[in-house]
Amino acid sequence: MSDTLQAPADDREGSAELLRFRVGDMDCPSCVARIQGRLETVDGVVEVLGSPVSRTVTVRHRGSVDPDRLRHEMGRLGYAAHPLNGSAPAGEPVSTFGTRAAWITYAAMSLFAVGGLLHLAGVRQVLVATGWGTWGPLTPPDILFLLSAVVGGTNFFGKGVKAALARSLDMNFLMTVAIVGAALIGETMEAAAIAFLFSLAELLESYSVDRARASVASLMELAPDTARLVGPDGETVVPASSLSVGQRVRVRPGERIPADGRVVEGRSAVDQSPITGESIPVDMAPGDRVFAGTINREGGLEVEVEREADHSTLARITQLIEEAEQAKSPTERFVERFARWYTPAVTALAVLVVAVPPLVVGADFETWFVRGLTLLVIACPCALVISTPVAVVSGITAAARHGVLIKGGSYLEAAGELKVLALDKTGTLTVGHPRVVGVHPADGGDASELLTLAASVESRSEHPVARAIVDEARARGRTPSIATDFEALPGTGARATVQGRTVQVVRAEAVRGSPPRPADSEAHTLVGVEDDEGFLGWVAVADEPREGVDDILRRVRREGIRHVALLTGDNEATARRVGEGAGVDAVHAALLPEDKVAILRELEERWGPVGMVGDGINDGPALATARVGIAMGAAGSDTALETADVALMGDDLNRLPYLLRLSHDARRIIRQNIVAALMVKLLLALLVPLGMVSLVTAVLVGDMGVSLAVIGNALRLGRVEA
């Protein structure tokens, strides 16, 4: 289990506090790394976490740390930071193509286009032929190209200078050097092309990343802005954020439920897909729990608020997704380490390319200077380092839309490595509440009459077994008789007077005498029914396997699971009945929590990485021990959300095959992105000394092209079907 988002061990019990910032133009992990490196030098800062997708930086600190000091430090690096309260965005989102950077890019592109048209029309050649030499005044195309370079460069020149002062070889610095160098040797067209193409690449990259960012923002937009508050004076429309625990709200058909709560009046079908991923609306009645952001489809509901807006299930999901973005996966950490080696190495190679041929063999300096500048462009690691986090965020947010909450990239990747699934029984493989599975009257009596008699007594009880007997009688069309003189028998059952005779319904051990039991009694919970004259019969109750669970397990095996085990504290006979019905490979029964942990370690040693599926509460130690802990039915449960690495928000095992498939696709796409980025850049780097790659090609292919390719590939994860 990960504690990625907690403070370091020596600080967790201390007074660590959080400061959060929205940081403009932080679209690349290398930007995050620069900010982390700078802020971690500030006294009192314990840890700095950042997400280029949500453009947020979270600072854990001790004592008094001035937020303005942190903003100033980020400003020195060229990033505008604004404090955040909670997880709310700083202001309204602005279209990527309507920002200041976008208009600068349009202007640079226009200047380059006009200069290019004049160049193609032969204006430069005519002017040179009439006396305007290349060492004389600049020609109109040259002037337009230089203007294009200066205008386009305003998007990153400032950051490049700040990077130089901070002795950082980031992309802004590398591109700035390439543009200035090209302009100094008279390659004005190349200088302009680099400036506007790099600005365009940044713009398109921001747009692509914004698509991933929008999927996170859309979660919070599910919660309505207003609510219909029910008070003494009638119905009042109030901000949903102002609701407090205990207040009642009215939800009309077609409206979204504004807060987590319980239905107190009305019946309706509620679309819970935004939270649990369930496609079929769930029937709700008084006493049932509902969640903020879900949709009331049919009748009117009155809901009593149980959680304020900032603590709703929807808010917790959004918060955990934002935190998951900041938790780096093993692949992401490897790529960042590689990039720290790659960029200086290629930059050093660029210096050698510029210096060695002219000095050693007397080659043309200008030719090799341009080739060195081209290598500097290729040295920009942006495409490489953005390849993994965009895929991770795309996968995590896609999973959230389908009711699967993944706590970080490491778990998204790890789920695809699993070879074993260990499943708890109650509430995981089974429905979690008992059902009548057999009625066995004594001496050839009538089964329906026996069930009705038992239901008449149990209609006054709230015990789960009693509820199962009453429900079964009603399902068979039998109406329980009126019971009087009801008496609960603690630990045993219940007694009441039904139709003038005293009837008791008790557990098997409390039945008088030793009546014969049904053949499969060891796999069920037996309830005996007696009256004044003697034993009347047995009612067998069991927690039945979920419908279709055998098909679900077949599907998870197709996703690479080699062994499925059932782990339960229940008795051997019951566990084996459930396990055989579900089609598991092994049954481990009568286990204490520490026994489950030991079994998980044995399974991992024999078969490989293990995923544990449980309810997130009773299975805490096992979930923590497994390579990936998966909690069932986590909607509304803070314990399950905090305990597990992956939470299935709905009470539905059908999300397991989807989780495994998504993880496999994510791992494949991440590998594709890394290989593609590396191969393209290394190939270009090898071709540059041979004169086969121009500055413009380096920008178009080595930077913009490969960056957009890996981002587009990563966004395909949003289309994985559940």
- pLDDT, one tens digit per residue, over 462-476 is 787 888 999 999 999
Both structure tokens of 13: 């019990």
* pLDDT mean over 268-276: 86
pLDDT at 165: 79
| Predicted confidence band of residue 456 (pLDDT cuts 50, 70, 90) | very high
Please tell me the predicted confidence (pLDDT) of residue 130. 59
Q: How far is CA 138 from the centre of its chain?
A: 55
Q: What is the mean pLDDT of residues 674-687?
A: 91
**Most confident region among 49-53, 210-214, 499-503 by mean pLDDT:** 499-503
Residue type, 240: A
Helices (H), 268-381: 273-276, 313-326, 330-361, 365-378
Indicate which residue of 25, 424, 619, 665 is catalytic: 424
Give 88's pLDDT tier (boundaries 50, 70, 90): very low
Question: Contact 501/481 with Cβ under 8 angstroms?
Answer: no
pTM of the complete model = 0.77
The model's confidence at residue 2, banded by pLDDT at 50, 70 and 90, is very low
Tally Cβ neighbours within 10 Å of residue 204. 18
Confidence tier at 668 by pLDDT (50, 70, 90) = very high
Give the CA distances from residue 385 to residues 27, 64, 138, 336, 677, in Å, rounded to whole numbers and listed in that order. 11, 34, 40, 6, 9
Q: Do domains 226-311 and 435-542 have the same CATH topology?
A: no
pLDDT band at 640 (very low <50, low <70, confident <90, very high): low
The mean-pLDDT minimum among 16-25, 217-226, 634-643 falls in 634-643
SS3 303: strand
Annotated active-site residue 424? The verdict is: yes
Is the pLDDT at 657 greater than 90? The verdict is: yes
628-631 and 610-614 strand pairing: parallel
Q: Which CATH number fits domain 226-311: 2.70.150.10, 2.40.110.10, 3.90.198.10, 2.70.98.60?
A: 2.70.150.10
Mean pLDDT to the nearest integer, 632-659:
81
Of 118, 232, 175, the C-alpha closest to 378 is: 175
Confidence of residue 25 (pLDDT cuts 50, 70, 90): confident
Sequence ranges of the domains in the chain: 17-92, 101-216+321-388+668-719, 226-311, 392-430+546-663, 435-542
Contact between 513 and 427 (Cβ < 8 Å): no
Tell me the fold of 17-92. Alpha-Beta Plaits (3.30.70)
pLDDT in tens, 322-332: 777 667 778 88
Q: Is the pLDDT of residue 343 over 70?
A: yes
Q: Give yes or no for residue 84 having a pLDDT over 60.
A: yes
Task: Flag whether pLDDT at 278 surpasses 90.
Answer: no
Would the pLDDT of 539 be above 90? Answer: yes
What is residue 133's predicted lDDT score, i.e. its pLDDT?
47
Distance CA 429, CA 651 (A): 11
Identify the residue with better confidence: 506 or 633: 506
Is residue 666 within 8 Å of 397, Cβ to Cβ?
Answer: no
| pLDDT for 228 | 94
Q: What is the mean pLDDT of residues 621-644?
A: 80
Each as own residue / partner, the long-range contacts of residues 330-337 (CB below 8 Å, 24 or more positions apart, any chain) are 330/410, 330/413, 331/388, 331/409, 331/413, 331/670, 331/674, 332/29, 332/388, 332/389, 332/392, 332/409, 335/384, 335/385, 335/387, 335/388, 335/674, 336/29, 336/33, 336/385
More confident residue, 634 or 406: 406
CA distance 77 to 167: 11
Contacts of 498 (CB under 8 A, 6+ apart): 453, 456, 457, 481, 482, 483
Q: Residue 123 — pLDDT band, cuts 50, 70, 90?
A: low
User: Which pLDDT score is estimated for 14?
Assistant: 44
C-alpha 702/C-alpha 689 separation (Å) is: 15
Mean pLDDT, rounded, for 508-530: 83
- pLDDT at residue 137 is higher than 60: no
Beta-ladder partners of 212: none
Sequential DSSP letters for 532-600: TTEEEEEEEEE-PBPTTHHHHHHHHHHTT--EEEEE-SS-HHHHHHHHHHHT-SEEE-S--HHHHHHHH
Q: Tell me how far the alpha carbon of residue 97 is from its chain's centroid.
A: 27
Report, as an integer, the average pLDDT of 269-279.
81
DSSP bridge pairs for 305: 261
How far is 605 from 586, CA to CA, in rounded Å? 16
Residue 136 has pLDDT above 60, yes or no: no
Percent of the chain exceeding pLDDT 90 equals: 34
Which of the pair, 443 or 195, is modelled with greater confidence? 195
pLDDT of residue 215 exceeding 80, the answer is no
Among 79-93, 270-284, 437-451, 561-575, which stretch is predicted with the lowest mean pLDDT?
79-93
Q: Which pLDDT band, with edges at 50, 70 and 90, does 1 fall under?
A: very low
Confidence at residue 662, expressed as pLDDT on a 0 to 100 scale: 95
pLDDT, residue 453, reads: 93
Q: Which residue has the higher pLDDT, 370 or 617?
A: 370
Helices and strands: H and E segment counts in the chain? 24, 26
pLDDT value, residue 561: 96
Mean of the per-residue pLDDT values of the chain: 84
The reported pLDDT for the residue numbered 87 is 46
7 has pLDDT over 70: no
Nearest to 374 by CA among 224, 221, 551, 185: 185
**For 392-430+546-663, CATH number?**
3.40.50.1000
Can you tell me the distance from the alpha carbon of 50 to that of 21, in angstroms, rounded to the nearest whole number? 9
The values of phi and psi at residue 226, to 5°, are -125, 165
* pLDDT value, residue 90: 37
Q: Which CATH class name applies to 435-542?
A: alpha beta
Q: Are 648 and 679 in contact (CB under 8 A)?
A: no
pLDDT tens digit sequence for 569-584 = 877 888 888 898 889 9
The percent of residues above 70 in pLDDT, for the chain, comes to 89
Using an 8 Å Cβ cutoff, are 290 and 261 in contact?
A: yes
